[in-house]
Structure 1
Amino acid sequence: MSTNDQRLEYLRQVAAPNEIPVPSPYKKPQLQHAAGAPKKRGFRRHKNARQLVSEELRRINAALEASVVGEPPNERKKLRVRVSHFSVDAPPSIRPTKRYCDITGLAANYKSPTNNLRYYNAEIYQMVVKPMAPGVDQEYLKLRGANFVLK
């Protein structure tokens, strides 16, 4: 016997006590084929937006029809809700809004305490924001829609 055959024989001897018989409490019999091979599960398909909207339309219409059984048929047609891509409302985002520098348009890391302008770094603050005239900062804030008008 060669050394490779001896190694294979040793591995078979070691692996033999580790095998679990088919009617095991760890293996579900409904997932086993008759031949003993595990049954393949069909892959799970995610539904696209059109399918979700059409299912929601069917659910809403079924609920409306169940609630107005005693009304005439022409009244039922008026109550049908038309669901489309434009009528589906989403809740507001829970992620924080992104803040951008009012001067450069880069991601704003800081905010000036005197005039509420957002700026990218200390260099922009020293060169642009700090020496800014009083009316100019309101023009920058007006571009962002955050200006305040004193009356």
Structure 2
Amino acid sequence: MGQPTLYELSQITVGPHSFKSNKPKAARRFKPARQLLTDETKYLQSKNLKFDTPTYTSLVSPPTLKPIKKYCDITGLEGKYKCPSNGIRFHDVEVYQEVVKNMTTSLDQEYLSLRGANVVLK
């Protein structure tokens, strides 16, 4: 016989590799959160364990680690500052100079009552 053809050479070098599996890959199955919760509930019920049924509204979480946001009593923007004399929170110097500084005692108590921070002295 003569020299092998290019096709025959390619058949020799291209073949199944020993490190690859010839088995077909199983398709991954992704489950939505509702199905995961249902499966977990069924599993726990099969083990006769007492538990609260997990739902979207009853999942318990720990308290947040972020600090509570404080808002300006006048503008509703983020209240970065607090007046030392009356306790009113304000957004910036302009709000302080125009409104908070000139506020009467009864008016500042009304603003504080809206926030639930008013102090009633007897």
- TM-score when normalising by structure 2: 0.63
In the TM superposition, residue 128 of structure 1 has moved relative to its aligned partner by 0.6
Counting helix residues as a fraction of each chain, which structure ranks higher? 1
CA distance in 2 between counterparts of 1:150 and 1:56 reads 56
What is the aligned length?
101
Cα RMSD after superposing both structures? 3.0
Q: CA-to-partner distance for each residue in 1:72-122, whole Å, 9 max, x for gaps?
A: xxxxxxx56433222222222111111111101111111111111110111
Distance change >3 Å, CA 150–CA 89, structure 1 → 2: farther
Distance change >3 Å, CA 96–CA 86, structure 1 → 2: same
Distance change >3 Å, CA 61–CA 119, structure 1 → 2: same
Matched, 1:61 2:45: yes
User: Match of 2:99?
Assistant: 128
> Which letter does structure 2 place at the counterpart of 1:86?
T
Q: Which has the higher contact order (CA 8 A, sep 6+)?
A: 2
Q: 1:143 aligns with which of 105, 114, 119?
A: 114
Which sections of structure 2, spanning at least 5 residues, go unmatched?
A: 1-18
User: Match of 1:33?
Assistant: 20
Which sections of structure 1, spanning at least 5 residues, go unmatched?
A: 1-31, 36-41, 67-78
CA distance in 2 between counterparts of 1:55 and 1:146 reads 47
Distance change >3 Å, CA 56–CA 91, structure 1 → 2: farther
In the TM superposition, residue 34 of structure 1 has moved relative to its aligned partner by 5.7
Distance change >3 Å, CA 52–CA 102, structure 1 → 2: farther
In the TM superposition, residue 127 of structure 1 has moved relative to its aligned partner by 1.0
What is the DSSP-based 3-state SS (H/G/I as helix, E as strand, rest coil) of the residue aligned with 1:126? helix
